[in-house]
Amino acid sequence: MSKRQKTNRNRRNYDDDAEGWTERLGLSEDTKRGILVVFLFVGALLGLLALLDVAGALGRWIEIALGSIFGWSRFAVPFVLLVFGFIYLYPDRYEVKRVQLFGFGVLVLSIQGLLHMTIDPAVSIDVAIARAGGGYVGLALTWPLLRFTGSMASWIIVCASFFVGILMTFETSLEALFRHSSRLNGLFRLKWLSFRYGGRRGEGGDTEGVI
């Protein structure tokens, strides 16, 4: 028997064991999804309490783990878990494909790399130990890139991975991405101008009334 045949056979046996385990428990798809949602919400709440330092010794261990893995991004982990919890809570409203999950993984890794690439390479290990930058994930990504490709090429690779992750996560195109970004830019600019000049008109009106 070849190595590939053994691998395929082991994979089939693993899938059969997994299916048999869920069948023996008698869990439906809705039940398994509900359990996943509970774990996501509990993880989000525990992570938030840990970051606020109000979860005792367990919270300190969770904060150390999140900081070591994700660095500065640890503060976003509870909110990401909440978002996934709501997504799986309403499967009819939000459909998540495997390619989107893979794209989200690429996006997270690229963000960790970008955060750590803002650090001086000479102290990148110390920064990861201090639970800053992109954490150990960012260090594991940027160290070989900077060593074998250089700074400029590393920035290009990580930035390209960032955009690829966005495109895969939201299943969109570059054209649609740029179109939405230009709309958001125009909206924020309009809000800023209305706030700025509207505030001045209000000050002028108040001054005029006093005079």
pLDDT at residue 174 in the model: 75
Report residue 155 as tokens.
Answer: 């920035």
State the pLDDT at residue 171. 85
Residue 29 amino acid letter? E
What is the arithmetic mean of pLDDT over 3-25? 54
pLDDT at residue 210, rounded to an integer: 41
Residue 61 identity:
W
Grouping H, G, I as helix, E, B as strand and the rest as coil, residue 209 is: helix
Q: Write the CB contacts of 144 (distance below 8 Å, at least 6 apart in sequence).
A: none
Residue 74 has pLDDT above 60, yes or no: yes
Q: Quick one: average pLDDT of 114-136? A: 93
Kindly state the percentage of the chain with pLDDT values over 70.
Answer: 73
Instruction: List, for residues 173-207, the tens digit of each pLDDT value.
Output: 877 777 766 665 655 665 666 666 665 555 555 44
Q: Do residues 127 and 145 touch, judged by C-beta distance below 8 A?
A: no
Q: What is the helix, strand, coil percentage profile of the chain, to 5?
A: 85, 0, 15
- pLDDT of 16 strictly over 70: no
Taking 50 as the threshold, does the pLDDT of residue 172 lie above it? yes
For the residues 41-50, what does the mean pLDDT come to?
96
Measure the CA dihedral 109/114/118/120, to 10°. Answer: 50
Q: pLDDT at position 201, please?
A: 52
Does the pLDDT of residue 99 top 70, yes or no? yes
Is residue 104 within 8 Å of residue 43, measured between CB atoms? Answer: no
Number of Cβ atoms within 10 Å of the Cβ of 150 = 11
pLDDT of amino acid 39: 96
Instruction: Report d(CA 26, CA 20) in Å as an integer.
Output: 10
